[in-house]
Structure 1
Amino acid sequence: MVDSPREGKLARSPDFVQLIDMASESVGGKILFATDDFFAPAENLIKSDSPRFEEHKYTEFGRWMDGWETRRRRTPGHDWCIVRLGVQGLIRGLDVDISYFTGGYAPRISIQAANLEEGKEPAMPPRGVRMGVAATAEELDAVAKRRQREGVAVGLRAVPLTDGGVARLRVYGVGHKDWASADPKEPVDLAAMASGGACVGFSNAHFGHPNKMIVPAGFGAGSVWHPRAHACPLGFQSDETGALLVLGGEWAVFRLSHPGVVTQVEIDTTHFEGPYAPARAALGRLPLGSQGHAVPQLSPNTAQVFDSLTPELQDVVHARRLTICSFCLLRPRDKPMMRFSVKAGFRSSL
């Protein structure tokens, strides 16, 4: 249970916010049910962008708000909704954002979770476009019976008995896969977010976080890593402790979902053409046992699959490093080598 917000801000963000938002619509999150959507629909909770405020924008139901806002209750109970996570996994932290709800925010919340087998989710009444409405008595009764019989995905409940607003719900964690039932001879995407892959370090995320490259299939809209242009040579070196040193290029390090042998690598540059397309890329592994290997020159706007590049890269690995380099007309600047590291607190949260 979380009480009403206090004045001031956290000195630093918790480490778990670097993990994936498993409830986001960008990875398949979905609102299954909500008791009330009068002022603003619950679907706003799982938008991937940050909440915004438009002072002079109104709807037929009142001021437009970028969040989920219910009407004032005149009956016992509280408002709640059910969110189906887009990625099944382990929850490491929650962020309930009440931005711009100054007087009508939900002063308290309660969150419950359940793990349902794939394909056995409870059937819910169709939502459609909902605003200015509340769930009917028949819908509430049907959902109550299904919750008792089959459980819920993730429920957000706002109390006490008043109207209230929440801008966003972020459910941070890591994906999970039942490896005991997996066929070790079948190819599997070891970097996939849904299986537990995660970006644990990067040089730049000016236009998009590297985690966007490993979202579940079918939710690729806007799922790109787009760092700023960086014209410089590619290369790998390690220091006397084996730590990876960066010579140039923009880079991202991915913790693989399971130790494995890499047989193929896919680099997809779809929608990136001209000066926005990376010209070259290189792959390294952690711990660093070689100087890495550059893949053949990349083609723009193409999904490219490369077979395992060197015998060294075919060893069992736990993490991969991708470095990209783009050519531009700007004068390149000398840049000292950087050392990649992961803070202990963040590593333990994975």
Structure 2
Amino acid sequence: MIEKAPAFTELGEFASIGAGGTVVFATDDFFAPCENMIADSEPIFLPDKFTEYGKWMDGWETRRKRIAGHDWCIIKLATKCVIRGLLVDTAFFTGNYTPKYSLQAACLTPEEETVIPERFSEMGSACSEWNLQQIKLLKSEKWEEIVPSTALQPGYEETRLNYQKVVSDEAWTHIRLNMYPDGGIARLRVFGEAKPEPPREDQIIDLVSLLNGGTCQEFSNAHYGHPKNMIKPGKSQVMSDGWETARRLDRPNIIEANDDGTLKVPGQEWAIFKLGFPGRIQKICIDTAHFKGNFPDSVMVEGAYLGNIDRCSIDQTWQNILKPKKMTAHKEHWFDCESEVITHIKVTMAPDGGISRIRTYGVIDNK
């Protein structure tokens, strides 16, 4: 039986390439480079694909250890964050998965990062002795252990997903993943809450961005894609990297239009986000990239100020920031607006469909 995903997987994810995570060091990349492990896509298996080094695998796979020690890597997270949980996915690594792993973490200063050597990712390679000596200057073996040595399960469909809760309120910038002693991991996901340094009060930032501490708290429907994808950095690369709902079953048999061009539909879908910082929104971008036959008819944005109260509900009293605006396919839609100081936004699409990204540019204001 496949394990149900724990609640922490609803939080932002900070190790993947799409979020901004990067591998800065790995002891060995012989069968498959470490970067595969933080790819955004789901792992795949191609039974007939081989390389000059052996079977092609969609993950990080090191050679069978024939020297003393164990394999490990260091990943720079997308931003400084509190880690609440992990997913270590061993998909398709059935006779070659890593038996055990542990995770250590550190909060490095820019000066400390200068000792990290430039990484060249290449299948069939291992780190050089010089690179190893350089990375040892970080003393990563002494970093805080936030997950002790933990057994993994093989990459069959019913056992591949290895979830691990992390109990720590410290914020980290880098993690060290230890393989004991070698083997393969298909994907690593690191879930948590961003803890960036506050910007200047006159600096315009994306207040809802994942990297600025924005989080998705509630939503009505996420059948094809979770609304938390909308606040990830950068443009989405595929349709699945956005928020997409199921088609509403209450849509009329024959759809009619209102005078303003929006459609007369009885239902809608919504998602609520907590902003990274309280602020005033001045400009909104709603991007329907890749949604060509399934974009929403219209999108509306509302806001609320909750002070020190963390969580917002659908029954909250909302102020209008952006009235329902007609959407089109595969396009960025930019709107000027002027909100009061708010801590949360509610994004409503009618009647259903998909949005790849939302940006809410403004200035912080702590009242």
Which range, TM-score by smaller chain? 0.7 to 0.9
* Cα distance in 1 for residues equivalent to 2:79 and 2:40: 14
Q: Structure 1 191/58 Cα, relative in aligned 2: closer, same or farther at 3 Å?
A: same
Q: Does 1:304 align with 2:334?
A: yes
Q: Is the 8 A contact 2:215 2:228 kept in 1?
A: yes
Deviation at 1:41, TM superposition (A): 1.0
1:276 is paired with a residue whose SS is coil
Q: CA RMSD in A?
A: 3.0
1:141 counterpart residue number: 133
Aligned residues: 297
* Cα distance in 2 for residues equivalent to 1:50 and 1:74: 31
* Cα distance in 2 for residues equivalent to 1:59 and 1:189: 43
Q: Is the 8 A contact 1:23 1:87 kept in 2?
A: no
2:100 counterpart residue number: 108
Deviation at 1:118, TM superposition (A): 4.9
1:318 partner amino acid: T
Q: Is the 8 A contact 1:122 1:147 kept in 2?
A: no
1:341 counterpart residue number: none
* Cα distance in 2 for residues equivalent to 1:208 and 1:297: 21
* Cα distance in 1 for residues equivalent to 2:24 and 2:352: 46
1:83 is paired with a residue whose SS is strand
1:125 counterpart residue number: 117
CA deviations on 1:286-308 (whole Å, 9 max, x unpaired) are 55224756234345523312312
Deviation at 1:144, TM superposition (A): 1.4
Deviation at 1:326, TM superposition (A): 5.2
2:183 counterpart residue number: 164
1:318 counterpart residue number: 343
Q: Is the 8 A contact 2:298 2:325 kept in 1?
A: yes
Q: Which of 43, 66, 76 pairs up with 1:51? A: 43
Q: Which of 165, 175, 179 pairs up with 1:154? A: 175
CA deviations on 1:186-237 (whole Å, 9 max, x unpaired) are 3332211011101122223344322222112x4543343333444579xxxx
Deviation at 1:88, TM superposition (A): 2.2
Q: Does 1:289 align with 2:317?
A: yes
1:227 counterpart residue number: 245
1:321 partner amino acid: K
Q: Structure 1 125/187 Cα, relative in aligned 2: closer, same or farther at 3 Å?
A: closer
2:102 is paired with a residue whose SS is strand
Q: Is the 8 A contact 1:202 1:252 kept in 2?
A: yes
Q: Which of 2, 6, 11 pairs up with 1:19? A: 11
1:241 counterpart residue number: none
Q: Superposition pairs for residues 68-83 of structure 1, below 5 Å?
A: 68-83=60-75
1:52 partner amino acid: I
Q: Structure 1 55/327 Cα, relative in aligned 2: closer, same or farther at 3 Å?
A: closer
CA deviations on 1:106-128 (whole Å, 9 max, x unpaired) are 11112111112357523543333
Deviation at 1:327, TM superposition (A): 8.6
Q: Is the 8 A contact 1:270 1:303 kept in 2?
A: no
Q: Is the 8 A contact 1:28 1:219 kept in 2?
A: no
Q: Structure 1 125/172 Cα, relative in aligned 2: closer, same or farther at 3 Å?
A: same
* Cα distance in 2 for residues equivalent to 1:327 and 1:68: 38
2:347 partner amino acid: L
Deviation at 1:272, TM superposition (A): 4.3
- The sequence identity of aligned pairs, in percent, is 38
CA deviations on 1:128-176 (whole Å, 9 max, x unpaired) are 341112112222122213547x98821111113xx31111111111111
Higher relative contact order (CA 8 A, sep 6+): 2
Q: Does 1:183 align with 2:189?
A: no
2:297 counterpart residue number: 279
1:49 is paired with a residue whose SS is coil
* Cα distance in 1 for residues equivalent to 2:235 and 2:285: 17
CA deviations on 1:288-344 (whole Å, 9 max, x unpaired) are 224756234345523312312xxxxx443322111112599xxxxxxxxxxxxxxxx
* Cα distance in 2 for residues equivalent to 1:133 and 1:72: 13
1:342 counterpart residue number: none
2:231 counterpart residue number: 214
Q: Is the 8 A contact 1:36 1:71 kept in 2?
A: yes
* Cα distance in 2 for residues equivalent to 1:123 and 1:141: 10
1:93 is paired with a residue whose SS is strand
CA deviations on 1:242-281 (whole Å, 9 max, x unpaired) are xxxxx721221111112333343332334545x4333311
Q: Is the 8 A contact 1:122 1:146 kept in 2?
A: no
Higher strand share: 2
Q: Structure 1 219/278 Cα, relative in aligned 2: closer, same or farther at 3 Å?
A: closer
Deviation at 1:81, TM superposition (A): 0.7
1:175 partner amino acid: A
* Cα distance in 2 for residues equivalent to 1:285 and 1:320: 4
Q: Structure 1 51/110 Cα, relative in aligned 2: closer, same or farther at 3 Å?
A: same
Higher helix share: 1
